[in-house]
Structure 1
Amino acid sequence: MWRHIASNFLTFLVVLVFLVGGVILWGQSEYTAQGPLDEPICLRVERGSNMRAVSRELEQEGAISNGTIFRVGVDYANKNSLLKAGSWLIPEGASMSEISDIITRGGASTCGTEVVYRIGVTDAEIEVRELDPATNRYVEKAAFVPGEGDVPEAFETVREKADTRYRIAVAEGVTSWQVMQGLAAVDVLEGEVNETPPEGSLAPDSYEVREGDTRASVIERMRQAQDLILAEAWEERQEGLPLDSPYEALILASIIEKETGVAEERGQVASVFVNRLNRGMRLQTDPTVIYGITEGQGVLGRGLRRSELRAETPWNTYVIDGLPPTPIANPGRASIEAAVNPLSTDYIFFVADGTGGHAFAITLDEHNRNVARWREIEAQRATD
């Protein structure tokens, strides 16, 4: 009898082990399988929250099929205590395993609201925008110029949120003085920078910052980025360029940056200046004259006068030979690469063509015809 009871009990244990093993395998499969979410969501995790509360919200949003399996899986992966506050983008079809990684890895929030401080060539702007999880694109909520008019309520509201992201977007072609002025208006930064960085030394780009970062640390990031871009470009430069150093390449790149806003033209504009340098011709470019007047401190805001084209300044390339002594702005990567790898052309002239681009010419006669067409366009616009 006891032998029969022992045999049945052993059979029960075997069956129980198989059942438990099957449940574990099923749970593991559910934890790593594609999730039910049919479109992305932005999951907000409040400070002081826990995995139980998060799992309930994920269930309500339809992001996971079973909150218990999610919590067990997180606990098994030793991530239960690693939950990070913030706003996290949960992509379509994310598995429980992927979601647990997203909400525990830390770093800056990946969705929600973002404040962008834009430092542009003509003005500065603050933009409040929010990520739409369905399209994974930011939607503008408010935009304003610092010091002009009332501050939008949307800006005041997001400043109170702990998970709001902050970004500084520096446009290509801004001067170092403009960067300094722009950073002074970024109210989440601390500290002062007493000396304007050398012209051309700052890389135009988008930089994420945290509240309490120093202005000096942001400047240093920009300088390091520009040093790296310039070094890489110089290493890959064409042979036979009329440039003796990376710094001269930076000067030329800044002129290219200010001469055209059309990306496809950079190589052609670069070729004109390289051809002129090779022939010993003066560069004769208006942006250098403007820099000689403003020295990068603000925008001229009007056309050049004939007297200014003849005025002697270190940057007036109608008067001086070769390159000016310093860059005239902070060029972006594309202009730096164009300076050291220009297109191979015979162009030595260009003038605006009325479309936002330029008409290029090899001979002076051809250039004069292009100039005459541009004058006609200007005259027509003046009467419209």
Structure 2
Amino acid sequence: MSFRSMRGRAWLRGLLLVVVLALAAALAVGWNDYQRFSTGALKVSPQQQSIDVGRGTSFKGIVAELRRQGLTTASPWYWRLLAEQMHVAGKLHAGEYALAPGITPRQLLADMAAGRVLQRNFTIVDGWTFAELRHALTQADVLQHDTSGLHDASIMQRIGAGGEAPEGRFLPETYAYVKGDSELDILRRAHAAMERTLAALWPGRAPDLPLADPYQALILASIVEKETGRADERAKIAGVFVRRLENHMLLQTDPSVIYGMGARYDGNIRRSDLTADTPYNTYTRPGLPPTPIALPGKPAIEAALHPAVGDALYFVARGDGSHVFSSTLAEHNRNVDCYQRKRCR
């Protein structure tokens, strides 16, 4: 072999080595860049709290949306490689996903593959009326507002409770929902929750209650709910009303009168309001009002079904959120003078 030939082969081997080393260096740089991409945080701004993946969106479309929103500048190939590495490329679910500060591409793809869509909470507050519940639903973020323009009766029909009066029928608690859910979805779940609660609690009620059915228990619970927010007083107040029912006394509960006044109530009850007859005026009509007057929470229902024993037939507010109880009208009148008219003797 000639010297020139040997030198040519050596040059080729050297060139090949340089190319291999260059490729290895490029692969190392590329791999390091890919690793930084997969574990680095997406560029989430304070205004970006979520990303919405529409039904039927392709993987390519998802990456394009991420790039459009400025969340990533990485090559789509990086996203494809990461998805293949995680075995989720064809398993991403539609929905709205949270963009928490610091979230990485790997974490986002894992959420999408698991369908961990962003959940929001809607709380029905103990003591709300159905009208207040309807108004609060209109303010709920991303909830579909599908009850707009519907009468109460139409709403009850659409949630499968046609013919029922809506007041009191929805259990106050917190309900999780996702984008795409509607007002009717929340109402349907809250109605079912109240049905389950009554069905569970009614069989264990105290014996000999003057309540004919769970609906009457719901009515009484709504009165208890509006009369007090104190846990230590619910059963006592329920006991007063149960004994008044047993003794065929008028309930004479102001919250029921207020409910019957509707829009006429301006924050004050006058003597004329107590004598103006409505179906909810418990000063003029005996027994329970025809429907609940609010949405009672589970504690109020439990109090109505397990009223405190005793002989109290009256109570009056002290002005600090608590009440003083009495068993005779004379004692009650003294308490009214003391705590409402400020003429304590």
Query: Which TM-score bucket, shorter chain as reference?
Result: 0.5 to 0.7
What is the aligned counterpart of 1:304 among 269, 278, 298? 269
Say if 2:254 is the partner of 1:289. Answer: no
Is 1:250 aligned to 2:230, yes or no? Answer: no
Counterparts of 1:360 and 1:89, CA distance in 2: 54
* Letter of the 1:177 counterpart: A
Larger relative contact order (Cα-Cα within 8 Å, sequence gap ≥ 6): 2
Residues 241 and 274 of structure 1 are in contact (CA less than 8 Å); yes or no, is this contact kept in structure 2?
yes
* CA deviation string 1:85-109 (max 9, x = no partner): 536799xxxxxxxx99x96884656
Higher strand share: 1
SS at match of 2:232: helix
Residue aligning to 2:134: 180
Q: Is 1:233 matched with 2:201?
A: yes
Choose the corresponding residue for 1:319, options 266, 284, 294.
Answer: 284
Structure 2 gap ranges (5+): 1-33, 42-81, 157-165
1:1-384 → structure 2 map (5 Å cutoff): 53=37, 55=39, 81=88, 86=98, 106=114, 163=118, 165-193=119-147, 194-196=150-152, 197=156, 198-294=166-262, 300-377=265-342
Change (3 A) 1:217 1:353: same
Larger radius of gyration: 2
Paired residue type of 1:195 = H
SS in 1 for 2:123: strand
Moved more, 231-240 or 370-379: 370-379
SS of the residue aligned with 1:258? helix
Contact 2:210 2:246 in 1 (8 A): yes
1:200 and 1:251 in contact (8 A); partners too: yes
- How far did 1:341 drift? 0.8
Distance 1:107 1:209 in 2: 14
Conserved 8 A contact 1:169-1:207: yes
Judge conservation of contact 2:224–2:300 (CA < 8 Å) in 1: yes
- What is the one-letter code of the residue matched to 1:184? T
Tell me, yes or no, if the aligned pair for 1:242 and 1:278 is still in contact at 8 Å.
yes
1:305 is displaced (CA, Å) by 0.8
Kept after mapping to 2: 8 A contact 1:257/1:332: yes
CA change 1:195–1:104 in 2 (3 A) is same
Equivalent residue letter for 1:222: A
Matched residue of 2:176: which SS? Answer: strand
The amino acid of 2:313's aligned partner reads: I
% identity of equivalent residues: 40
How many angstroms does 1:167 deviate by?
2.0
TM-score, normalised to structure 2, is: 0.64
> Counterpart of 1:210 in structure 2: which amino acid?
V
SS of corresponding position for 1:209: strand
Q: Give 4+ residue runs of structure 1 displaced > 2 Å after superposition.
A: 50-57, 78-90, 102-109, 184-187, 375-379
In 1, the alpha carbon distance for the partners of 2:115 and 2:313 equals 50
Q: What per-residue deviation string (whole Å, max 9, x for no partner) do you get for residues 180-202 of structure 1? A: 12212335122422132511111
Bigger helix fraction: 2
Query: What is the number of residues matched between the two proteins?
Result: 247
Give yes or no for contact 2:337–2:343 (8 Å, CA) kept in 1.
Answer: no
Q: CA deviation at 1:168?
A: 1.5
- C-alpha distance in structure 2 between counterparts of 1:320 and 1:214, whole Å: 39
Q: Is the 8 A contact 2:318 2:340 kept in 1?
A: no
- Aligned partner letter, 1:339: A
| SS at 1:290 equivalent | helix
Do 1:167 and 1:209's aligned partners in 2 also have CA atoms closer than 8 Å?
yes
**Alignment RMSD, CA only?**
3.2
